[in-house]
């Protein structure tokens, strides 16, 4: 079971979180024209890297904040966590 | 009642307390502190089971977790448990143990015929034999194999025991209380670290209990006791015996299995049987020690053959002799300690040492005590079927591949030692890639992936001095990093015997024309020839060899067999062991009970139960409940002998004719506040929200980004910047997360807050033509006329003195209202409604009637919004705005969503107007067509229309728009039904929606 550092609450067990997918995906702006290709990429296309991956988790049984987690998909090592408004490099 | 193999004084058992038990029906006794194994051996019983494949007689081999053979069916404390390790299970009064895998008895086992047909049971036998004909598998092969093989029998009784889970955090977890573990825990404790010390066995000390050593002039056992006593007195230390750390998971999460009360004769009601600990440790010390491995020789599975250290442990811990005429067969010095222990107890051993004559401290001591030592010797084959009677021994030539001399010697036990294998299971589970250590012919931990440090024998250090030193150092350094305190501890003086080098010898050759079975893996009956066959047949990867031969795949995880198997493969393949590699170690290290994994999450505690504030009333009024997620909802209220069908028909009819009330508390409720709330709703829902007036509700539809309908519900504008959203019961949590996602990540610029208020409000729907009359009695001071409170209107008013919200919304399609009061007032509201509603013929109705009402109105719910439908599929395209953007809008333009023949919601009625159509039925053109019969759609919801008094269903059907009036078949292979149906509109009752506006 992973041990995830919520930037608001501190280290908490994975049980308290739910997974939210790739955090680097950006939704096309509302009320703006978007090409079918861009839209399809946003809705369907995801990378499945082996190694470092920046992903979203929600602290669902805690502060209910969505957070960013940089995790190694092969080893589960977590390098960094951040608020969604912050950048992970 | 004498115990022929019990020593008079030796051992740590309590001779003042006798414990009686039975084995295969025979009444026996042992002492407090015995295991089943030690008590049986004391009684001279060695034959305890039959082997897995060949049904060969098997006895004890080890004295603890390494035991491959002695798995028994054990009954105690009122339950029966299979595959109990006799070398670990402590004796308790009244325990009854029986042998497994034998019929009719362990002494006479019909299955033993397999042993004489062994040429027909080579490696891969099952794969080769039971492959064809294919149809034989389920009916003949599998039942036969299941009966013939397998271990014990799982109980079919309900487990009455209590199991618990515990979550714990610590600075340092120490796994194993041998010398290095004790030293680590002690040093860390002195630095003020929060320490957990776990010991698998009932007694602390590990090898200190059996080795002839002294520390600071104390015996090993006394020193261990001193340290444990001090650790127990420290508030920052938790010391646990009977606790096996069996799994090492991500982020230093370790899982421990504690046998809390299996050894107790009496316990209090709430004492759990076993407990599972989830331990999150900052650092872990793996002091799991090592396990002796055997040397492979002919018939090496005969009862009476033991690991040499196990024989010593039986003497020193249990005061039991494994035999009175022992052969000690070894390639190293450690077995000499066993020989000396025998000698001390006046038993004359013969030592067979594969090494050439040489000298070491232990050899010299054995010589000086007059022990018969034969160098360059080994056991070729053990004689005796149910117990060792003698052994054919041989003097090895210089190359150790043939014999200079062969003779037979009498013996009643053989104690074998092929050197030591570090227990690296936990290190490997943590992600540590192991490395092969030439010096000890075994794998030890290499580079760490997590915060784990192996010390002592687990790390390949086999001397006490080194183990203690590493223990103290690592315990101190690792904890000092955490506590930032360092207490100096002087490392104690150690007195131990120096061991000479071991012989890299692991398998006895066979003389010409002799071919006894030489077992590598006892529990799965894998012999040397099986591995040879696997390699001959082309298996190369050690993982494949393992699966083909089942080497190391039994419950003992190959603890005594893995390295010998690897040696064999490397010899045949002419590769060195590190090139062959090792198979993966997986948790659990030892078998654990399923009860422990489940813990308290059984029965009522399986998941939380959510009850509405009116639950008690429903119970008292014969409600039959249905699970809606964690909620309990009344499905119907039973009157007399009514069936579900009759009751729901009565309830639904009463709503259509008079008035009914329904507990709708479970609907998801989300409070939405903020100056941008309208803009937010406008983006979330497909329809327009910018102009909803205060005091009005609106039906809304929300999509996922891929255009599929996510949920529906009404949202009411309570005040300028305050909205009350309702969701379906099932989607409440998902919708909240969905809203939070968009507010926190996608549009953080919107000033809106959302919070779940599902549990804060109790809700009741009042539905039926007489609902307004009833409402006016509930709110005598309020104008509830159609003009003052129109469809989709909203009012706040006092309900007999308590604040309430009135929504004029309808799910049933009737004139209807929903009243919300604070949860605490829910019961008050409900009872008041029942009282006031009497004169209007009010009756409560459950979810079954609720479904009937919505289905015949053509209102969609979960079965239609099944994650595959877009708004137009369910005739809700009128709610999709063309003017504004919203979540999922761009996806609605997809080609597949816009083809003419796209699926669409329709209604179905049976041609005979009688036959109910099973939900899930497939719609086909021709019920007799050849398979695969093209599917045109499926039945999503079915009911008995109370309005028209015949069955009616909703279906999602290909090109549904153009199918109205046509006839098809609804086929349900599950219910074995085929019903001819006619397609009609999905709005079966009041298609214009006049009633809700009346």
| Alpha-helical segments (H) within B350-497 | 361-368, 425-429, 464-483
Cβ of A85 and B706 within 8 Å? Answer: no
d(CA B988, CA B906): 10
> Which of B129 and B27 is assigned the larger pLDDT?
B27
Domains and their CATH numbers in chain B? 14-125 (3.10.20.440), 163-290+422-495 (3.50.50.60), 294-418 (3.50.50.60), 518-605 (1.10.10.1100), 663-845 (3.30.1360.120)
**Which CATH number among 2.60.40.10, 3.30.200.100, 3.30.2270.10, 3.30.460.20 corresponds to the domain A3-26+38-83?**
3.30.2270.10
Residue of A nearest to B253 (CA): A1
* Residues listed for chain A: 89
From residue B191, alpha-carbon distances to B184, B476, B925 in Å are 11, 7, 80
Could you give the percent of chain B with pLDDT greater than 70?
A: 95
Cβ of B280 and A3 within 8 Å? Answer: yes
Mutate to test the interface with B, among A30, A54, A74, A86 (most CBs of B within 10 A): A30
Q: Which two tokens stand for residue B245?
A: 């750390």
Nearest to B420 by CA among B378, B462, B465, B376: B462
Exposed (0-12), middle (13-18) or buried (19+): which is B19, by Cβ within 10 Å? buried
B858-913 tens-digit pLDDT:
999 999 999 999 999 999 999 999 999 999 999 999 999 999 899 999 999 999 99
Could you tell me which residues come within 8 angstroms of residue B734 by beta carbon, excluding any fewer than 6 positions away?
B710, B711
The mean predicted confidence, pLDDT, of chain B is: 93
Q: Per-residue pLDDT for B639 more than 80? A: yes
By the 8 A CB rule, do B118 and B517 touch? yes
Helix-helix angle B361-368:B334-344, to 10 degrees: 20
d(CA B172, CA B451): 10
Q: What is the ipTM of this complex?
A: 0.98
Residues of chain A positioned with their CB less than 8 A from the CB of B706: 43-44
Answer positive or negative: Cα dihedral of B888, B890, B894, B899.
Answer: positive
Residues of chain A positioned with their CB less than 8 A from the CB of B252: 3
By the 8 A CB rule, do B833 and B821 touch? no
Helix (H) or strand (E) segment spanning residue B668? strand B668-673
Band the pLDDT of B554: cuts 50, 70, 90: confident
Residue of A nearest to B279 (CA): A1
Q: According to the model, what pLDDT value does residue B147 have?
A: 57
Cβ of B252 and A44 within 8 Å? Answer: no
Q: Which two tokens stand for residue B620?
A: 């008292």
Q: Per-residue pLDDT for B172 more than 60? A: yes
Q: Per-residue pLDDT for B134 more than 70? A: no
Cβ of A28 and B890 within 8 Å? Answer: yes
Say whether residue A29 is in contact with chain B using an 8 A CB cutoff: no
Cβ of A75 and B449 within 8 Å? Answer: yes
- DSSP-derived letter for residue B298 is B
Shortest CB distance from A1 goes to which of B250, B683, B745?
A: B250
Say whether residue A88 is in contact with chain B using an 8 A CB cutoff: no
Mutate to test the interface with A, among B890, B893, B896 (most CBs of A within 10 A): B890
Cβ of B251 and A60 within 8 Å? Answer: no
Nearest-CA distance A9 → chain B (Å): 17
Q: Quick one: residue B181, left, alpha or beta (phi over 0 = left, psi -120 to 50 = alpha)? A: alpha
Cβ of B706 and A44 within 8 Å? Answer: yes
Say whether residue A70 is in contact with chain B using an 8 A CB cutoff: no
Shortest CB distance from A3 goes to which of B251, B748, B890?
A: B251
Residues of chain B positioned with their CB less than 8 A from the CB of A84: 744-745, 748
Cβ of A66 and B744 within 8 Å? Answer: yes
Band the pLDDT of B578: cuts 50, 70, 90: confident
From residue B901, alpha-carbon distances to A67, B82, B393 in Å are 43, 59, 85
Say whether residue B250 is in contact with chain A using an 8 A CB cutoff: yes
Nearest-CA distance A31 → chain B (Å): 5
Cβ of A65 and B280 within 8 Å? Answer: no
Nearest-CA distance B734 → chain A (Å): 11
Q: Per-residue pLDDT for B130 more than 70? A: no
Band the pLDDT of B584: cuts 50, 70, 90: confident
Residue of A nearest to B248 (CA): A1
CB proximity under 8 Å: B 875-894 to A: 884-885, 890-891, 893
Band the pLDDT of B557: cuts 50, 70, 90: confident
CB proximity under 8 Å: B 140-179 to A: 167
Residues of chain A positioned with their CB less than 8 A from the CB of B884: 31
Say whether residue B737 is in contact with chain A using an 8 A CB cutoff: yes
Residues of chain B positioned with their CB less than 8 A from the CB of A1: 249-251, 253, 278
Nearest-CA distance A35 → chain B (Å): 9
Q: Per-residue pLDDT for B141 more than 70? A: no
The string of DSSP letters for B35-68 reads: BHHHHHHHTT----EE-TTT--EE----SSTT-S
Nearest-CA distance A84 → chain B (Å): 6
Residue of B nearest to A30 (CA): B885
Band the pLDDT of B58: cuts 50, 70, 90: very high
Cβ of A76 and B250 within 8 Å? Answer: yes
Could you tell me which residues come within 8 angstroms of residue B553 by beta carbon, excluding any fewer than 6 positions away?
B524, B546, B547
Residue of B nearest to A24 (CA): B745
Say whether residue A34 is in contact with chain B using an 8 A CB cutoff: yes
Q: What is the largest CA-CA distance in chain A?
A: 42
| Phi, then psi, of B541 in degrees rounded to 5 | -60, 135
B348-398 tens-digit pLDDT:
999 999 999 999 999 999 999 999 999 999 999 999 999 999 999 999 999
Residues of chain A positioned with their CB less than 8 A from the CB of B705: 27, 42-43
- DSSP-derived letter for residue B580 is H
Nearest to B297 by CA among B380, B377, B354, B407: B380
d(CA B841, CA B928): 49
Cβ of A64 and B252 within 8 Å? Answer: no
Q: According to the model, what pLDDT value does residue B68 have?
A: 92
Residue of A nearest to B890 (CA): A39
A14-24 tens-digit pLDDT:
999 999 999 99
B232-274 tens-digit pLDDT:
999 999 999 999 999 999 999 999 999 999 999 888 889 999 9
B210-238 tens-digit pLDDT:
999 999 999 999 999 999 999 999 999 99
- pLDDT (mean) for B925-949: 95
Could you tell me which residues come within 8 angstroms of residue B449 by beta carbon, excluding any fewer than 6 positions away?
A75, B430, B431, B432
Nearest-CA distance B691 → chain A (Å): 18
Q: According to the model, what pLDDT value does residue B820 have?
A: 98
Between strands B305-307 and B413-417, the pairing is parallel
Say whether residue A13 is in contact with chain B using an 8 A CB cutoff: yes
B775-800 tens-digit pLDDT:
999 999 999 999 999 999 999 999 99
Say whether residue B741 is in contact with chain A using an 8 A CB cutoff: yes
Residue of A nearest to B281 (CA): A3
Cβ of A85 and B748 within 8 Å? Answer: yes
d(CA B335, CA B341): 10
Say whether residue B601 is in contact with chain A using an 8 A CB cutoff: no
Which residue ranges make up each domain of chain A? 3-26+38-83
Sheet holding B305-307, edge to edge: B305-307, B413-417, B326-330, B350-353, B372-375
d(CA B869, CA B865): 6
């Amino acid at each position: 079971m992973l041990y995830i550092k919520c930037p608001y609450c501190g280290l908490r067990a994975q049980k308290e979180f739910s997974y939210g997918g790739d955090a680097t995906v950006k939704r096309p702006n509302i009320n703006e024209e978007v090409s079918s290709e861009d839209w399809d990429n946003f809705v369907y296309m995801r990378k499945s890297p082996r190694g470092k991956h920046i992903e979203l988790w929600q602290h669902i049984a805690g502060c209910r904040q969505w957070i960013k987690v940089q995790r190694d998909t092969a080893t589960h090592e977590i390098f960094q966590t951040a608020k969604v408004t912050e950048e992970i490099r | 009642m004498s115990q022929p193999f019990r020593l008079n004084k030796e051992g740590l058992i309590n001779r003042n307390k006798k414990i009686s038990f039975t084995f295969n029906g025979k009444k026996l006794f042992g002492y407090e502190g015995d295991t089943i194994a030690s008590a049986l051996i004391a009684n001279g019983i060695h034959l305890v089971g039959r082997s897995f494949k060949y049904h060969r007689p098997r006895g004890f081999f080890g004295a603890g977790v390494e035991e491959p053979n002695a798995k028994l069916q054990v009954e105690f404390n009122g339950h029966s448990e299979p595959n109990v390790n006799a070398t670990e299970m402590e004796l308790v009064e009244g325990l009854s143990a029986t042998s497994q895998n034998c019929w009719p008895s362990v002494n006479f086992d019909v299955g033993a015929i397999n042993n004489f047909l062994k040429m027909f049971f080579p490696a891969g036998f099952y794969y080769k034999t039971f492959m064809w004909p294919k149809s034989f598998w389920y009916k003949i092969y599998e039942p036969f194999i299941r009966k013939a093989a397998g271990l014990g029998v799982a109980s079919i009784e309900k487990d009455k025991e209590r199991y618990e889970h515990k979550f714990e955090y610590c600075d340092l977890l120490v796994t194993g209380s041998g010398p290095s573990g004790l030293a680590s825990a002690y040093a860390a404790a002195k630095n003020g670290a929060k320490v957990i010390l776990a010991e698998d066995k009932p007694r602390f000390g590990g090898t200190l209990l059996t080795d002839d050593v002294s520390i600071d002039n104390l015996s090993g056992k006394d020193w261990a006791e001193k340290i444990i006593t001090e650790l127990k007195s420290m508030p920052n230390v938790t010391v646990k015996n009977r606790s096996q750390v069996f799994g090492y998971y991500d982020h230093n999460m370790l899982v421990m299995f504690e046998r809390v009360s299996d050894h107790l004769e009496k316990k209090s009601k709430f004492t759990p049987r076993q407990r599972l600990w989830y331990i999150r440790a900052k650092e872990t010390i793996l002091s799991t020690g090592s396990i002796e491995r055997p040397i492979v020789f002919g018939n090496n599975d005969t009862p009476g053959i033991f690991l040499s250290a196990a024989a010593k442990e039986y003497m020193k811990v249990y005061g039991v002799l494994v035999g009175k005429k022992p052969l000690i067969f070894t390639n190293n010095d450690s077995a000499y300690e066993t020989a000396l222990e025998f000698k001390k107890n006046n038993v004359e051993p013969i030592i067979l040492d594969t090494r050439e004559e040489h000298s070491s401290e232990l050899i010299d001591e054995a010589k000086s005590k007059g022990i018969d030592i034969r160098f360059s010797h080994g056991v070729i084959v053990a004689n005796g079927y149910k117990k060792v009677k003698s052994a054919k021994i041989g003097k090895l030539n210089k190359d150790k591949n043939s014999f200079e001399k062969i003779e037979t010697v009498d013996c009643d036990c053989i104690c074998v030692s092929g050197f030591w294998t570090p227990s690296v299971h936990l290190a490997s589970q943590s992600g540590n890639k192991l490395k092969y250590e030439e010096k000890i012919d075994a794998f030890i931990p290499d580079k760490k992936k997590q915060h784990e440090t192996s010390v002592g024998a687990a790390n390949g250090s086999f001397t006490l001095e080194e183990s203690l030193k590493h223990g103290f150092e690592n315990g101190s350094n690792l904890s000092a990093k955490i506590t930032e305190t360092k207490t100096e501890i002087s490392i104690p003086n150690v007195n131990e015997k120096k061991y000479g080098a071991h012989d890299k010898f692991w398998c006895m050759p066979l003389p010409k024309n002799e071919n006894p079975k030489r077992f590598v893996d006892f529990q799965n009956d894998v012999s040397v020839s099986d591995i040879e066959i696997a390699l001959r047949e082309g298996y190369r990867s050690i993982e494949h060899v393992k699966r083909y031969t089942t080497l190391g795949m039994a419950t003992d995880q190959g603890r005594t067999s893995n390295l010998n198997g690897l040696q064999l493969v490397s010899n045949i393949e002419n590769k060195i062991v590190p090139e062959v590699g090792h198979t993966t170690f997986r948790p659990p290290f030892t078998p654990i009970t399923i009860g422990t994994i489940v813990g308290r999450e059984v029965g009522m505690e399986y998941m939380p139960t959510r009850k509405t504030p009116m639950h008690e009333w429903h119970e008292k009024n014969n409600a039959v409940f249905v699970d809606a997620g964690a909620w309990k909802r009344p499905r119907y209220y039973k009157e007399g002998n009514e069936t579900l069908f009759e009751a729901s028909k009565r309830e639904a009819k009463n709503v259509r004719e008079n008035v009914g009330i329904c507990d709708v508390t479970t609907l998801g409720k989300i409070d939405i506040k903020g100056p941008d709330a309208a803009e937010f709703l406008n983006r979330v829902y497909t329809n327009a929200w910018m102009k909803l007036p205060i005091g009005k509700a609106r039906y809304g539809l929300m999509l996922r980004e891929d255009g599929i309908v996510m949920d529906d519900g009404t949202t009411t504008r309570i005040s300028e910047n305050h909205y009350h959203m309702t969701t379906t019961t099932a989607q409440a949590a998902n919708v909240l997360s969905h809203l939070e996602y968009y507010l926190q990540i996608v549009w953080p610029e919107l000033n809106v807050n959302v919070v779940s208020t599902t549990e804060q409000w109790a809700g009741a729907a009042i539905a039926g033509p007489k609902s307004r009359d009833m409402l006016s009695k509930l709110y005598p001071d309020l104008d509830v006329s159609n003009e003052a409170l129109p469809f989709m209107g909203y009012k706040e008013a006092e309900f007999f003195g308590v604040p309430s919200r009135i929504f004029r919304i309808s799910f049933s399609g009737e004139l209807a209202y929903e009243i919300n009061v604070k949860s605490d007032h829910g019961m008050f509201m409900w009872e008041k409604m029942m009282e006031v509603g009497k004169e209007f013929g009010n009756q409560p109705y459950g979810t079954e009637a609720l479904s009937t009402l919505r289905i015949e109105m053509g209102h969609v719910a979960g079965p239609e919004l099944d994650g595959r439908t877009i708004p137009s599929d369910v005739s809700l395209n009128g709610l999709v705005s063309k003017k504004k953007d919203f979540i999922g809008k761009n996806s609605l333009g997809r080609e597949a969503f816009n083809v003419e023949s796209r699926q669409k919601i329709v209604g179905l009625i049976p041609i005979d107007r009688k036959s109910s159509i099973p939900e899930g039925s497939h719609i086909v053109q021709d019920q007799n067509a050849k398979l695969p019969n093209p599917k045109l759609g499926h039945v999503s919801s079915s009911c008995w229309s109370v309005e028209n008094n015949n069955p009616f269903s909703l279906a999602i059907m290909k090109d549904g728009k153009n199918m109205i009036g046509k006839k098809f078949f609804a086929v349900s292979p599950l219910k074995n039904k085929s019903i001819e149906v006619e397609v009609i509109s999905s709005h079966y009752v009041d298609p214009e929606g006049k009633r809700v506006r009346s």
